[in-house]
Structure 1
Amino acid sequence: MKRAAPWAARNADVAIALTLAIVVGVLGIMPDEIFGAEGDVIQRQLVTASTLVILALVATALLRDRARQAPVEKTITSGALAELPVRLERLEEIETLAHSTRKALDSLQLVRVLGSKHEIAQCHAEARRDTTRWSFKGGTGTYLRAVTLPLCVAAARRDKRHLTVRIEVIDPSDEEVCETYAHYRRSLSDVPDGTGERWTTDRARKESYATILAAFWHRQRYGLLDIAVGLSSTMTTFRWDMSSTRLIMTVEDPNMAMTALADTFYYENCYTELRLSFEQARRVPLEMYKKVPLSDEPTIEEVQELFERIGMPLPKSYNGHDVVDIARKALRAVDPYREPRPAIPQQDGA
């Protein structure tokens, strides 16, 4: 009763109609004799009157509900529904803003750090896959000769597609920059690297000469290779490798590198940096690749004549052994990032 009383107070008309309906139902099933001699007539009159009252109360309740709903409907139709197109337009603007924000955040993720040799090697493999261009800037290009250039050229030849390569290394004819580079490498580690050699000024010069020789050798053997080499008089502590899909920056630590995907802020700015740096480097005249044909195994005379014809004669102190060493480094370069091996002891005068 305590719970029913508040409800009956708020809905008096409905409560009365319900009560009358119960009374009419009771009167309808009561015997006629209870109402006296004219019980049948009296019973019908009571039922009819009560029914009319119930209908009136129901109609009153319906009118009251409609009166209560009218302001709500008016508010909905004139307020929320009227503003719906504007709100939908704002929602579309918010979605556009969220998409732009997500794209900006992706671009702000400048680089991803690679923390192992395996990750770096895998990243290089992904960068080489189906690339149509490669740009390199670094010291002497040892890894480029050992892995990157041969594999990129082989993939391009297999797919019969064009390949553009831009290489910038230190100038082998500039003894000062070669000594600076060798000193820097020795200061980080004085033990042999993955090639089994220590860094000296002579090695830095030969490695750079070998990169030039390798560029000519590959250009002569693949007609769809557009390759250019620039020589820098300054060294860099970074090595940039850039393909169509990603940038990889390595340092002397073989277990540390950074990478950035194409179309990101960092990638685009590094692309501009490499292009401008290459334009300022001294250009090797690779357009003369037809002037001095190189054998599959270049001879000493072929290598010497090549460097003479391009205006970069080898040092007069170089003998046949030195020229063979340059050719070996050019075409059979050892991956410098493999596990170091001990240097081979040499006898005096060897």
Structure 2
Amino acid sequence: MKRLVTAVKRAAPWAAQNADGAIALTLAIVVGVMGIMPGEMFGPKGDDVQRQVISAATLVILALVATALLRDRVRQAPVERTITSGALAQLPERLQRLDQLESLVEGTRKALDELQLVRVLGNRQEIGEALAAARKDTTRWSFKGGTGTYLRAVTLPECVAASRKVRRHLTITVEIVDPTNEEVCEAYAHYRRSLSDLPDGTGERWTTDRARKESYATILAAFWHRQRYGLLDISVGLSHTMTTFRWDLSATRLIMTVEDPNRAMSALAGTFYYENCDSELRLSLEQARRVPIERYKAVPLSDEPTVEEVEELFRRIELPLPKAYTEHDIVDVTRKALQAKDPYGP
């Protein structure tokens, strides 16, 4: 009995909230029971009475069911309005915010990926390996720096040799200090001496005269290689300002070095840093004084150019050598051009 009372108490709140449904359920049970009872139990005309009671009860049940449905619909209307006017109305804005968030996440991920591809190289071996990897199978090279000593000693001859081996087109752009501008040559030499007054990897100290000769040598090397490899397109620009950085950019990577032979930075092609440095080098070259490389046929250079050939070449391209230069100075320029010593070598 106690369990029954407890069950009734638990069911009472539900029955109160759903009275029409509870009554309909009760009537349905009663009608179902009356339907299976014999008609004689309702008197002489038990069958008629039974049918009438069942029909009347069925109508009542249908009415209660309809009432329950209408009541539920009335209850759901505010919820539907809330959903329609609230969440659904804000859905386009929320989707837009989601798209913005996805774009932000994608941009952040890409930026982090690119940062991971900018590496600091911490010793000579790493720098040498990076430069070698940049030269491998490249079809282009852009250099900007002081006088191009390493370019003459390693980059230019090795890139030309590799391209000639497979008959591949090669494009090289070079920007160095203007050898006819004494001020910029002195500024560059003074900067190099301020870092170290000792001889560098070539065994020489930096002076204004050396800076001038090194730049003349790079120009001479450009003409010499252009005459010997028909698939080489080379451009040389002369700058009236010096830079403390050296950029070497190939088709696959960028290596930016400084005077410290154990420090450099490398970035792979396609990264933000690489693309912007590429644009910087192009724009800088456009502003530099251009050497007329197209006149490379004007003065044929021997395998070991003579003093007369070198003098005539610089005269023809309107970059005459200083009048104070002796035969020894011109031989020195020629040696630097074609037998340059790797400043970072052993």
State the TM-score, normalized to the length of structure 1: 0.69
Partner of 2:120: 114
Partner of 2:221: 214
Partner of 2:205: 199
**What is the RMSD computed on CA atoms of the aligned residues?**
4.6
How many residue pairs are counted as aligned between the two chains? Answer: 328
Percent identity of equivalent pairs: 62
Partner of 1:313: 321
**Correspondence 1:122-141 to 2 at 5 A:** 134-141=141-148
1:272 maps to 2:321: no
Partner of 1:60: 67
Partner of 1:87: 92
**Correspondence 1:67-106 to 2 at 5 A:** 67-69=74-76, 87=92, 95=99
SS of equivalent residue, structure 2 residue 65: helix
CA shift in 2, pair 1:215/1:104, >3 Å: farther
Structure 1's unaligned 5+ residue stretches are 342-350
Residue pair 2:153, 2:339 contacting (<8 A) in 1 also: yes
| One-letter code aligned to 2:206 | T
Deviation at 1:186, TM superposition (A): 3.1
1:142 maps to 2:149: yes
Distance in 2, Cα, partners of 1:91 & 1:123: 46
Deviation at 1:220, TM superposition (A): 0.7
SS of equivalent residue, structure 1 residue 240: strand
Q: Once the two structures are superposed, what CA deviation does each residue of 1:183-231 show, in whole Å capped at 9, x if it has no partner? A: 32233234554x4424332543432222111111111123343433333
Partner of 1:347: none
SS of equivalent residue, structure 1 residue 207: helix
CA shift in 2, pair 1:295/1:270, >3 Å: closer
**Correspondence 1:329-348 to 2 at 5 A:** 329-338=336-345, 341=346
Distance in 2, Cα, partners of 1:272 & 1:131: 21
1:25 maps to 2:32: yes
| One-letter code aligned to 1:115 | L
Distance in 2, Cα, partners of 1:3 & 1:268: 80
SS of equivalent residue, structure 1 residue 316: coil
SS of equivalent residue, structure 1 residue 148: helix
Deviation at 1:141, TM superposition (A): 0.5
